[in-house]
Amino acid sequence: MEIKGPNYRVWYDPANIVVSFEGILQVGGPEEYQPIAELLSKVLETNPLCFTLDMRALTMLNASGINELYKFAIAARTHGGLRLVVRASKSIAWQAEALPNLKKFNPNVEMTYD
């Protein structure tokens, strides 16, 4: 599964259960993030024990996108002991500031930084 826009790409690697984000993701409100939300939901429906979000190549994400990630963290919390690993980069300011807040919405979030 892959979603592409003019400046971004989001894709799923089922062999490793990793959803990767790359580029600059600044679409409009929640309705424009719907395809990405659906991709994340489909992965959750497979009931994995561990799920990784690789954000290291995503240089920009607007507030609507960050809110969608927070909603996803809440949805993932309802999947029992699912371990949600978030790979991030401390050199990208928005990631260092916003992504640690995922733990507030889901205590099973594990942050890893490059």
- CA dist 31 and 12 (Å) reads 20
pLDDT in tens, 3-55: 999 999 999 999 999 999 999 999 888 889 999 999 999 999 999 999 999 99
- CA dist 15 and 113 (Å) reads 22
Tell me what pLDDT residue 31 has. Answer: 87
List the one residue out of 19, 110, 33 whose CA is nearest residue 64. Answer: 33
Per domain, the residue ranges of the chain are 2-113
pLDDT in tens, 71-93: 999 999 988 789 999 999 999 99
Tell me what pLDDT residue 9 has. Answer: 98
Q: What does CATH list as the number for 2-113?
A: 3.30.750.24
Work out the average pLDDT over 47-76. 96
List the one residue out of 65, 55, 72, 82 whose CA is nearest residue 26. Answer: 65
